[in-house]
Amino acid sequence: MNYPNGKKRKVKQVTSQTNNQGYSNRGMSLEADINVTNTYYLETDKAVIHKKPTPVQIVNVKYPKRSAAVITEAYFKQASTTDYNGIYRNHYIDFEAKETKNKTLFPLSNIHEHQIKHMQSIIKHGGISFFIIRFSSYNETYLFPGENLFPYWYEMLEDGRKSIPYEKITQDGKLIPFQYQVRVDYLSIVDTLYF
């Protein structure tokens, strides 16, 4: 096919390697999938949920050109809380997204104490707080309520198990199905758990 300017359209050849990737290798990280989902939620007026920016203190900036500034030194101002927050159905939502390649467990070392305290405070004040956990080896993503994770956290602090078994995530969490436009439709799970 020729375009109006008379030039032929370039056709990209698809190799068998890209054809065989299939469902198991979608090429996006959990964060990228959630960002696509949140954009869809925003555009369809379903919810307003955004990724929280990490607060940094800029210390040194170089200006090699007038139009280009390069940050050469910066520090985190404070520990960040969770990854995402926003409003859905008149409720405050706050959640953390974690991805693991481990096939048998979710390591609690991926979570920090200030995040647990923050999430407990959200729940105490009537908000909804949870984890979205992806087991990349299985291409499975789960919504795991904060209330379900807290006991594992406190058990770890008392020299207990330092992880949550995969089976417990599948039992106590809810599988989030993958879809094209709504890659991680976590709000459909929020509807069943909280409303």
81 is in an annotated binding site: yes
Structure tokens at 155: 């058990």
Q: Residue for token digits 């959640």? A: 95
How far CA 37 is from CA of 32, 82, 83, 95, in Å, comes to 9, 17, 14, 14
DSSP string, 162-182: SEEEHHHHHHHSEE----SSS
172 is in an annotated binding site: no
Q: What are phi and psi of 155, to 5 degrees?
A: -65, -40
94 is in an annotated binding site: no
179 is in an annotated binding site: no
Structure tokens at 149: 């994770």
Annotated binding-site members for Mg(2+): 81, 83, 96, 115
Annotated binding-site members: 81, 83, 96, 115
